[in-house]
Amino acid sequence: AQTPVKVTVTGAAGQIGYALLFRIASGQLLGADVPVKLSLLEVPQAVKAAEGTAMELDDCAFPLLSGIEITDDPNVAFAGANVALLVGAMPRKAGMERGDLLEANGGIFGPQGKAINDNAADDIRVLVVGNPANTNALIAQQHAPDVPAERFTAMTRLDHNRALSQLAAKLQVPVTEIKKMTIWGNHSATQYPDLFHAEVGGKIAAEQVDEAWLRDTFIPTVAKRGAAIIEARGASSAASAANAAIDHVFDWVNGTEWTSAAIPSDGSYGVPEGIISSFPVASRGGRWEIIQGLEIDAFSRERIDASVRELVEERDAVRALGLI
Ligand code: NDP
């Protein structure tokens, strides 16, 4: 039998964790024939809740689930890990300054990066979901000098999926008709969902919608969808975030011709090397590759630059705080 793949989930007792763990255990993260071993990392006060979730996982009798470990020690959680989903983070509270937010997350993602560096398997792949995701991924990466930098990624797949769904509704086509969607930049309100390369029925999407809708409805709806869900549901999006994390890792491992993911920049498209920014990507042989050769029009250039500028500011801020 195949050796189980160890998947570590941080913030496992949280909302997203609850929506994520059952899907991992059922085989949706890696494939229906890949056994998994789960490691749940939580802060001490949430370990008991994680144990409750583990009891429910047991009660599903998932054929692919070979074991569950629950711990508050990152060195234990990441020991031999092949996939790490970093979901637990310090949320921005009312009145919190950006520096305080970054500092609090530096205290989480720095040690986790080091624990990954010291304990994870050689093929470790890291997806950061907890916000500010791109910069948290950068912090973790900078504390893991022995792990190839490209193994640290952040999630923009939920934004990507939201963009697909908004466009499909507008044009009244199934989401499967849409190809080459791209989210650029930061997973924040400055993100840029690009319809100038997306295709619907083989034709450029931006040419099938009016510019006012694209600019004043589509872009802000995608960027602010999280807030709209909080408003409607009374709680932040969790199942859709978990779904996007599943999509990201599945495609990373199993391959895809085109999606969006935040990965370390190699300088493509004028994005400064090293920052973890969302790009149009393919996955081949288990590695993300930035899709090259796209022409960037002036409208897109301005928006990509604005989001990238924000990422550079976040990087400079965590540098100034001594977090990287
Ligand atoms: P959630 O599970 O709802 O969210 C977890 C993180 O995901 C947040 O940072 C959230 O950011 C982020 N996120 C990213 N994309 C989305 C999205 N589309 N929708 C919603 N959230 C998104 O948080 P809970 O508070 O329910 O649970 C967090 C858990 O993490 C707690 O159990 C806590 O104990 C744990 N934790 C664990 C740590 C550890 O293992 N060392 C460290 C810190 C916390 P945002 O807030 O900006 O929405």
Q: How many residues does the chain have?
A: 324
**Residue 92 pLDDT:** 82
The number of the ligand 1 atom at minimal distance from the alpha carbon of 133 is: 14
- The fold adopted by the segment(s) 5-154 is Rossmann fold (3.40.50)
204-209 average pLDDT score: 98
160 an active-site residue? no
**Residue 95 pLDDT:** 83
Q: Got the DSSP string for 16-59?
A: HHHHHHHHHHTTTTT-TT--EEEEEE--GGGHHHHHHHHHHHHH
Please tell me if the domain spanning 5-154 has the same topology as the one spanning 157-314. Answer: no
Q: Determine contact, residues 96/105, Cβ cutoff 8 Å.
A: no
Taking each helix axis from N to C terminus, what angle separates 298-320 and 133-142, rounded to the nearest 10 degrees? 50
Long-range contacts, stretch 247-251, CB < 8 angstroms, 24+ apart: 247/157, 247/161, 248/127, 248/153, 248/155, 248/157, 249/29, 249/30, 249/83, 249/85, 249/125, 249/127, 250/28, 250/29, 250/30, 250/31, 251/283
For the cut 80, the answer to whether the pLDDT of residue 1 exceeds it is: no
Separation of first and last alpha carbons in the chain: 41
- Cα(134)–Cα(224) distance, integer angstroms: 17
In this structure, which residue's CA is closest to atom 20 in ligand 1? Answer: 237
**Residue 161 pLDDT:** 98
**Residue 61 pLDDT:** 98
Distance 153 CA to ligand 1 centre (A): 17
* pLDDT band (50, 70, 90) for residue 23: very high
Catalytic residue among 160, 187, 197, 248: 187
Q: Determine contact, residues 191/307, Cβ cutoff 8 Å.
A: yes
Distance 12 CA to ligand 1 centre (A): 9
Residue whose CB lies within 8 A of the most ligand 1 atoms, among 16, 20, 136, for a mutation test:
16
87-103 average pLDDT score: 88
Distance 236 CA to ligand 1 centre (A): 10
For the cut 90, the answer to whether the pLDDT of residue 94 exceeds it is: no
Distance 146 CA to ligand 1 centre (A): 27
Residues having CB within 6 Å of any atom of ligand 1: 10-11, 13-17, 41-43, 46, 87-89, 91, 108, 129-131, 158, 226, 236-238, 241
* pLDDT band (50, 70, 90) for residue 153: very high
**Residue 97 pLDDT:** 86
In this structure, which residue's CA is closest to atom 40 in ligand 1? Answer: 42
The number of the ligand 1 atom at minimal distance from the alpha carbon of 74 is: 41
Domain spans, the chain: 5-154, 157-314
Is residue 76 packed enough to be buried (19+ CB in 10 Å), middle (13-18) or exposed (0-12)? middle
ipTM, 2 dp: 0.90
pLDDT digits (tens, 9 = 90+) for 280-293: 999 999 999 999 99
**Residue 98 pLDDT:** 83
The pTM of the full predicted model, rounded to 2 decimals, is 0.97
pLDDT digits (tens, 9 = 90+) for 264-320: 999 999 999 999 999 999 999 999 999 999 999 999 999 999 999 999 999 999 999
The number of the ligand 1 atom at minimal distance from the alpha carbon of 112 is: 41
The number of the ligand 1 atom at minimal distance from the alpha carbon of 11 is: 30
Query: What percent of the chain lies above the pLDDT cut of 90?
Result: 96
* Residue ranges of the binding site for substrate: 92, 98, 131, 162
206-213 average pLDDT score: 98
* Residue ranges of the binding site for NAD(+): 11-17, 105, 112, 129-131
The CATH number that domain 157-314 falls under is: 3.90.110.10
- Report how far apart, in Å, the C-alpha atoms of 189 and of each of 18, 131, 136, 213, 292 are: 26, 12, 17, 18, 25
Distance 267 CA to ligand 1 centre (A): 30
